[in-house]
Each structure stands twice: as C-alpha cells, then as structure tokens.
Structure 1
Amino acid sequence: MEIDIGWLMIIVGLVLLIIEASQPGFFVAVPGTILIVLGAIVLLIPEYAQEWAPVIVVITALISSIITIIFYRRIAPGHRPLSTSMDILAGKEGIVVDTIRPDAISGKVRVGNQIWSATGDSVIEAGKKIVVIRSEGVHLKVKEF
C-alpha cells in the first residue's frame, strides 16, 4: 500500500492542528496549516506543486501566522503587568496586615491589592487604617489614618 505524499502532508497537518487545539501554545498550527494547504495543492494540481512550493509555503505561512496571532490575541487578550511605582503611593490609604512598629520593617500593609513592608513612628495594630507618607526603598513609611 503506497500513500501519496499529498495525503501524508494533509494527515500530518491535521495531527498538528489537533495537537494545537488540545494543547494550545505549542504553535504548531502554522506548520500544520502549511502542510494541509501544500498537501491539497500536491493532490489537486501536482504540476504546479513542486515548482511553486516555496512560494506557496511562504504565502501560507504568512497568512496562517497572522490568523493564528489574531486568534490567540482574542482568546487570551494581553494585559498590562501588575506594577506600582512607589512614587505614586504617597497619600494612598490602606490597612495594616501585620502590626507596625517604629524602626522595624516587619510590619505589613495592604495598599490597593498589594502588600508592602511598612514602618511608622508609632505602633499601629493590625486592622487599623493607614495613610502612606512616603516610600523608602521598597518599604513604606505610614501613619495611622
């Protein structure tokens, strides 16, 4: 039993697409699409397949890459990474998570949805509201609100 190269390309291309569908992120959709298109051309118009194969591969790769990128952007839209410049924290309100003690950075406060090491001029118990005075390195200087 002899299998035609066109059918082999289509089968391998389909397997790659199935792998991509079941385990997204391997990025085998583009080569899978190329193999399917090239296999179909080999089967349908074999006289052009060998001569035009490089052009067909490049065009198919470009089109399927663009479609794949658009598809992945829709199913997993990009989002900005969570980052906070400490310069903008001054004046923000928060709540004490771990008791704050003067001259110690073991205290913890929640400002927004982030937890920061904090210190203050007086003891501030957990659960109390605070306001950020300034940032000192990666720690916050706070006072009770």
Structure 2
Amino acid sequence: MELLGISIGWILIVLGAVFLLIEATNPGFFIAVPGTVMIILGVLFVMGFDVFGSALGVVAGVGAALAAAAVTVWLYSRITPDEKPTTISRDSVAGREGRVIRDVDAESISGKVLIDGVEWSARSEGEAIPAGSKVSVVHSEGVHVVVREVK
C-alpha cells in the first residue's frame, strides 16, 4: 500500500523511530510503546504483509503489536529504578540534623543548611551560626527552617 509514492510501512517506521527518540530525550512520557508498535507494523508492511487487508492480517498485526507492547513495557520496567523518589516536606524536617553551608543568623533567611542532602534556606533562633557547624531543625516557617546549633 502506498501513499503519494511512499510506503505506509516506511512512514510507520520513521514515526516509530521519532517516538523512540522523543522517549529517549524525555523519559517517562511513555511513548516508547506506540513507537515500538509502529516500527513492528511498519516492518510488516514493508515485508509485504498487508496488516489491514484480511482478518488474518488484522489478527497478526494486533498480535505483533501486543507482543511489542508487552516486551517494551517489560524492558521499561527493568531499566527504571525500583526505589521511590525521596521527598522531604518542610514539616518533616523538624528534629533532623544537618550542616550549615552558608552562615545562618536570626535576622534573615539568607543562610543555608544541608539536611539529608537537601539545601534549605534557614535562620537561627538567636545567635549567628557559622558555616560548617552542625545544627538541628527546631521548626519550619513558610519556605525556610529555623535551626539551633548542636554542640
């Protein structure tokens, strides 16, 4: 089957390859499955197998598409990490300890602390705390945390 002198099979192969490239540059968009199915159907067309020409062709095309989708989903699940992303809300940091990475004082929130690998804007309860000091989070206020030095 041809469309303006170009085989529909080649169009499907090229579109499938474009989908896979998009998936490779934006993981998680999950267009790898339709991309893989398009490539498989395109190859069947190029080989002269008319997928939509008969009942057997439709069954074979659907079977190939389902197999390609299953394999793609299986491969995708194998390459994605099993652990869930770590999320730390401002309310869950109270009581945790960290380290000052930019001097902290009581007057502003320009100070920075590193808590469990996450950088937070911080202010102290009273006295200034120099960079490198160990701190404990007293509580959070808006978009910053209030800390005290651990001695």
Same fold, judged at TM 0.5 (above): yes
- TM-score computed with the length of structure 2 as normaliser: 0.70
Q: What's the counterpart of residue 32 of structure 1?
A: 39
Q: What's the counterpart of residue 77 of structure 2?
A: 73
Q: What's the counterpart of residue 103 of structure 1?
A: 107
| Structure 2 residues without counterparts, runs of 5 or longer | 1-6, 25-31
Is residue 105–residue 118 contact of structure 1 (8 Å, CA) maintained in 2?
A: yes
Q: Which of 45, 48, 53 is equivalent to 1:50? A: 53
Shift of residue 78, structure 1, vs aligned partner: 5.5
Shift of residue 84, structure 1, vs aligned partner: 0.5
Secondary structure at 2:53 match in 1: helix
Query: Between Structure 1 and Structure 2, how many residues are aligned?
Result: 133
* Amino acid aligned to 2:43: I
Over the aligned positions, Cα root-mean-square deviation in angstroms equals 3.2
Shift of residue 117, structure 1, vs aligned partner: 0.4
Secondary structure at 1:135 match in 2: strand
Q: What's the counterpart of residue 128 of structure 1?
A: 133
Higher Cα Rg, which structure = 1
> Hey, what's the Cα distance between the residues in 1 that align with 2:37 and 2:110?
52
Shift of residue 23, structure 1, vs aligned partner: 4.4
Shift of residue 38, structure 1, vs aligned partner: 5.4
Shift of residue 39, structure 1, vs aligned partner: 5.2
Shift of residue 100, structure 1, vs aligned partner: 0.7
Secondary structure at 1:102 match in 2: coil
Is residue 105–residue 127 contact of structure 2 (8 Å, CA) maintained in 1?
A: yes
Secondary structure at 2:119 match in 1: strand
Deviation per CA, 1:102-133: give whole Å up to 9, x if none. Answer: 13111100001000000112100111110011
| Structure 1 residues without counterparts, runs of 5 or longer | 1-7
